[in-house]
């Protein structure tokens, strides 16, 4: 049988090759007549005078049909036909035997010898030509079909599909290549069973639809089938093909492993590997889906971000594995809260998605009818739960959580929703924000932009040295003489105008610029001191505010020493102002530096005293010379007995431990009088002198002129 299908079998060029004929007849006139008639009809003709010559021709040439005379001397037509068939094997080249013997026996012999057809002599060429054409076409079609079917056969054999033969009711009539399905599944697909009886409810509708389509619409729909067998869910992919004789073929392929691999890929792509909850990618796709529904159905989508600065800080103690446990512990708290909230509000838990945005940031998505109050309730539940210290392997992990909330009314894309919650959790430097749950508001974004702009401009201006110093005098309360001055930095920015230190110092601290700023300040102040010395001005201590960050650095002592050495400034004329909060937090190196500075002769004072966390008992442990009573106690000192009592206590205790006490922010003569009564040593404030540029400071060197004007005698 010929299996290969050549182009010649089914592709016809616009001008087809003439079909090749072999005409075999011992009668030369018949051969000549045949050649003339058949060539005229478009055939290419080869003729042979006897059976042996014909067999030789067949050996060397290819023919599309053979016309064979039955009666020939030697090898007659029937014997020649038989031999030809033997040589041709499976090739069904049409052989027509022409015979004058039109008895039934001759016809039967002709077919027994392998003839395709017979033609009575004398030959009628019109009929012969048509018959030859029909036979040649039939052979081509048969070859084509044979090729196709053998192709299908090998495809089926090599494909991984099993075939069920079903009758019109779905009853399994036969099975082929059933070994390609798992054993547990083949046991369910026994012949005689109805295929539809074994379908689980969930798949039935789709399979039945595919079945109907295959019967009526001549189309092939694929379906996926989940068959539970031996406690395993097998996934089969299938399709129906309408067969012959009212049969339907059901082709099934085992896709269990492919589905498992797909599931694994999904998990890798969309789930957080450590905690098993949705990851950022999944969160984003979920948000975009929900935001779309929000738009289409007028609902609301809310994102709650729970954030703590960093888990990594616990790594040295907990190790990587411990950090994973910490993340899982946090997630289980979030899950409990969400469950609790869903139960309280009867919200469907599918509406609540928990995701890990990044290391220590988690997001909770809600959608539907979620009013601000219910969102606040959930946020509060989360905040309360996260505030309880997590313990991992006996080690407690205190974390500061902030919760930022934004919704689809404020942000319409996953990105903007995420960044809105990022703004909401952002701490504005310098602002004390005790509230852990914060709703997004556009001003947060404006503040953040402003902080960023401020940061950039500050960086530029520090580098350009475009900041100046003001000096504010300090006067003794005994004789109103000048006892010192405080150097205060001023920033008058080209673009934004004057910016208060209360605003930009925290930004500088937050963005790591404060040390550079401090260098600038120290250089300016020391140069100014040299200038005043050269002008013969009275030498009094100048105090410089030093940030805790700088005080904690390794180099602060050398920097200050180098500055004073270079200019031969006595150390006791330089006072370092530090805030008490730094003293509490920065015990380590800050304290060591302070001790060193003091032992070198620098004066140390505690600024804004009374506002921080320290108690008076700290004073004994610190290397300090002076206390600056915070302005908040001075403001009401004249009329609030409590403020007065506190100021008095600070002054008394300060004196008891041998410290100078100065009051800052003195604005009125009454405050001045009170402080004098309480025996405060000195004052600084708008009343006695505002901070001014160095050129305007000259007047203060002569002492506080108005002092006696308030009825206060100099002692």
In the bound state with Mg ion, the residue whose beta carbon lies nearer, of 227 and 597, is: 597
Task: Report, in Å, the least distance between residue 499 CB and ligand C2E.
Answer: 10
User: Which of Mg ion, ligand C2E, none binds 586 (CB below 5-8 Å, type-dependent)?
Assistant: none
Contact partner, 472, from Mg ion, ligand C2E, none, Cβ < 5-8 Å per class? ligand C2E
Q: Which is nearer to ligand C2E, 420 or 521 (CB)?
A: 521
Q: Which is nearer to ligand C2E, 112 or 699 (CB)?
A: 699
Q: Which is nearer to ligand C2E, 77 or 563 (CB)?
A: 563
How many residues contact Mg ion, by CB under 5 A? 5
Q: Residue 481 CA to chain centroid, in angstroms?
A: 67
Which of 266, 449, 613, 686 touches ligand C2E (CB under 6 A)?
686
Which of Mg ion, ligand C2E, none does 594 bind, CB closer than 5 to 8 A by kind?
Answer: none
Residue for token pair 């800080």: 313
If phi > 0 it is left, if psi is from -120 to 50 it is alpha, else beta; for residue 74 that is left
- Look at residue 521 and give the partner it binds from ligand C2E, Mg ion, none, a contact being a CB closer than 5 to 8 Å depending on partner kind: ligand C2E
* 3-state DSSP of 31-97: HHHHHHHHHHCCCEEEEECCHHHHHHHHHHCCCCEEEEECCCCCCCHHHHHHHHHHHHCCCCCCEEE
CB nearer to Mg ion: pick between 287 and 576: 576
Q: Contact between 521 and ligand C2E (CB under 6 A)? A: yes
Q: State yes or no: residue 465 binds ligand C2E (CB under 6 A).
A: no
Q: Is 545 among the residues that bind Mg ion (CB under 5 A)? A: yes
Q: Is 468 in the site for ligand C2E (CB under 6 A)?
A: no
Rounded to a whole number of angstroms, the minimum distance from the CB of residue 677 to ligand C2E is 19
Q: How far apart are CA 174 and CA 165, in angstroms?
A: 5
Question: Alpha-carbon torsion 312, 317, 320, 326, what sign?
Answer: negative
CB 367 within 8 A of CB 294: yes
CB of 626 to Mg ion, least distance (A): 11
- Binding-site partner at residue 691 among Mg ion, ligand C2E, none, CB < 5 to 8 Å by type: ligand C2E
Could you tell me if 88 and 58 are in contact, meaning their C-beta atoms sit under 8 angstroms apart? Answer: yes
Minimum CB distance to ligand C2E, residue 416 (Å)? 36
Provide the minimum distance between the beta carbon of 543 and Mg ion in the complex, in angstroms, as a whole number.
7
> Do strands 682-684 and 660-664 pair parallel, antiparallel, or not at all (unpaired)?
parallel
Query: Which stretch, 121-129, 413-421, 494-502, 562-570, contacts ligand C2E (CB under 6 A)?
Result: 494-502
Q: What are phi and psi of 363, to 5 degrees?
A: -125, 145
CA-to-CA distance for 635 and 633, rounded, in angstroms? 6
- Only one of the segments 181-189, 193-201, 292-300, 542-550 lies at the binding site for ligand C2E (rule: CB under 6 A); that segment is 542-550
Strand partners, 225: 236
In the complex, minimum distance from the CB of residue 474 to Mg ion, in angstroms, rounded to a whole number: 11
Whole-number Å distance between alpha carbons of 474 and 485: 5
Tokens of 214: 């295959």
Work out how close the CB of 429 gets to ligand C2E at its nearest, in angstroms, rounded to a whole number: 13
In sequence order, what DSSP letters do the residues of 467-498 get, joined into one string?
Answer: -EEEEEEEEETTT--EEEEEEEEEEEETTTEE
Out of 70, 357, 397, 489, the only residue in the binding site for ligand C2E (CB under 6 A) is: 489
Contact between 608 and Mg ion per CB under 5 A: yes
Least separation, in Å, of the C-beta of 414 and Mg ion?
A: 46
Going residue by residue from 571 to 600, which x/- string records binding to Mg ion, judged by CB under 5 A? Answer: ------x-----------------------
In the complex, least distance from residue 556 CB atom to ligand C2E, rounded to whole angstroms? 12
Q: Binding of Mg ion at residue 25 (CB under 5 A)?
A: no
Q: Which of residues 397-436 bind Mg ion (CB under 5 A)?
A: none
Return the SS3 of 685. coil
Whole-number Cα distances in Å, 437 to 57, 362, 423 = 100, 14, 12
> H or E stretch including 560?
helix 556-567
**Rounded-to-integer distance, Cα 472 and Cα 108, Å:** 135
CB of 386 to ligand C2E, least distance (A): 33
Q: Does 501 engage in binding with ligand C2E (CB under 6 A)?
A: yes
When asked if residue 607 is in the footprint of Mg ion (CB under 5 A), the reply is: yes
| The one segment of 214-222, 419-427, 497-505, 701-709 that binds ligand C2E by CB under 6 A | 497-505
Assign 538 to helix, strand or coil.
coil
Q: How far apart are CA 136 and CA 45, in angstroms?
A: 14
- The 3-class SS string of 206-269 reads HHHHHHHHHHHCCCCCEEEEEEEECCEEEEEEEEEEECCCCCEEEEEEECHHHHHHHHHHHHHH
Quote the least distance from Cβ 444 to ligand C2E, whole Å: 24
Footprint on residues 569-588 left by ligand C2E (CB under 6 A): 577
Residues that bind ligand C2E in the complex, under the rule CB under 6 A: 472, 488-489, 500-502, 505, 521, 545-547, 577, 607-608, 664-667, 685-686, 691
Which residues of the chain form contacts with Mg ion (CB under 5 A)? 545, 577, 607-608, 664
């Amino acid at each position: 049988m010929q299996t290969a299908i050549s182009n010649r079998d089914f592709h016809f060029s616009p001008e087809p090759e003439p079909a090749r004929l072999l005409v075999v007849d011992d009668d030369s006139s018949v051969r000549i007549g045949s050649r003339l008639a058949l060539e005229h009809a478009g055939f290419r003709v080869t003729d042979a005078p006897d059976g042996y010559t014909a067999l030789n021709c067949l050996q060397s040439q290819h023919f599309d049909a053979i016309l064979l005379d039955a009666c020939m001397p030697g090898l007659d037509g029937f014997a020649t036909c038989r031999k030809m068939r033997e040589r041709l094997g499976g090739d069904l080249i049409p052989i027509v035997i022409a015979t004058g013997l039109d008895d039934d026996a001759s016809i039967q012999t002709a077919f027994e010898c392998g003839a395709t057809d017979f033609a009575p002599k004398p030959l009628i060429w019109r009929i012969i030509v048509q018959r030859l054409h029909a036979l040649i076409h039939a052979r081509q079609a048969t070859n084509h079909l044979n090729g196709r079917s053998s192709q299908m056969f090998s495809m089926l054999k090599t494909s991984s599909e099993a075939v069920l033969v079903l009758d019109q009711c779905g009853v399994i009539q036969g099975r082929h290549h059933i070994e390609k399905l798992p054993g547990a599944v083949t046991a369910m697909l026994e012949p005689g069973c109805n295929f539809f009886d074994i379908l689980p409810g969930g798949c039935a509708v789709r399979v039945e639809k595919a079945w109907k389509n295959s019967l009526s619409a001549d189309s092939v729909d694929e379906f996926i089938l989940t068959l539970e067998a031996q406690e395993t869910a097998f996934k089969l992919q299938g399709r129906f093909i309408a067969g012959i004789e009212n049969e339907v073929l059901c082709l099934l392929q085992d896709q269990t492993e492919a589905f498992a691999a797909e599931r694994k890929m999904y998990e890798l792509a969309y789930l957080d590997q450590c905690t098993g909850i949705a990851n950022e990618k999944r969160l984003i796709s979920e948000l975009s889906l929900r935001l779309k529904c929000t738009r289409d159905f007028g609902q609301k989508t809310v994102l709650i971000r729970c954030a703590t600065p960093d888990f990594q800080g616990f790594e040295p103690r907990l190790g990587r594995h411990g950090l994973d446990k910490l993340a899982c512990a946090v997630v289980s708290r979030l899950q409990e809260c969400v469950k609790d909230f869903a139960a309280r509000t009867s919200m469907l838990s599918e509406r609540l998605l928990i995701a890990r945005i990044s290391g220590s940031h988690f997001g909770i998505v809600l959608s539907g009818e979620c009013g601000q109050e219910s969102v606040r309730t959930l946020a509060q539940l989360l905040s309360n739960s996260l505030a309880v210290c997590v313990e991992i392997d006996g080690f407690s992990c205190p974390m500061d959580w902030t919760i930022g909330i934004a919704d689809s009314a404020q942000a319409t894309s996953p990105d903007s929703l995420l960044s809105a919650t990022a703004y909401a959790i952002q701490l504005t430097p310098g602002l004390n924000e005790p509230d852990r749950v914060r709703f997004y508001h556009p001003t947060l974004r404006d503040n953040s932009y402003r902080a960023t702009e401020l940061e950039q401009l500050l960086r530029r201006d520090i580098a350009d040295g475009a900041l100046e110093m003001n000096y504010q005098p300090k006067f003794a309360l005994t004789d109103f003489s000048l006892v010192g001055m405080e150097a205060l930095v001023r920033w008058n920015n080209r673009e934004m105008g004057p910016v208060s230190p209360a605003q930009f110092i925290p930004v500088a601290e937050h963005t790591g610029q404060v040390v550079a700023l401090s260098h600038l300040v120290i250089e300016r102040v020391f140069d100014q001191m040299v200038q005043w010395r050269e002008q013969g001005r009275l030498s009094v201590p100048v105090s410089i505010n030093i940030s805790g960050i700088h005080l904690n650095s390794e180099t602060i002592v050398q920097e200050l020493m180098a500055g004073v050495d270079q200019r031969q400034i006595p150390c006791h004329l330089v006072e370092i102002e530090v805030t008490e909060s730094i003293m509490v937090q920065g015990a380590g190196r800050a304290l060591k530096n302070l001790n060193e500075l003091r032992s070198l002769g620098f004066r140390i004072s505690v600024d804004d005293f009374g506002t921080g966390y320290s108690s008076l008992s700290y004073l004994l442990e610190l290397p300090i010379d002076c206390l600056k009573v915070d302005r908040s106690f001075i403001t009401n000192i004249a009329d609030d007995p409590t403020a007065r009592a506190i100021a008095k206590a600070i002054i008394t205790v300060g004196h008891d431990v041998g410290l100078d006490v100065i009051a800052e922010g003195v604005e009125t003569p009454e405050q001045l009088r009170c402080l004098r009564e309480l025996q405060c040593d000195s004052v600084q404030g708008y009343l006695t002198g505002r901070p001014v540029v160095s050129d305007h400071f000259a007047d203060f060197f002569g002492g506080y002129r108005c002092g006696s004007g308030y009825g206060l005698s100099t002692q």
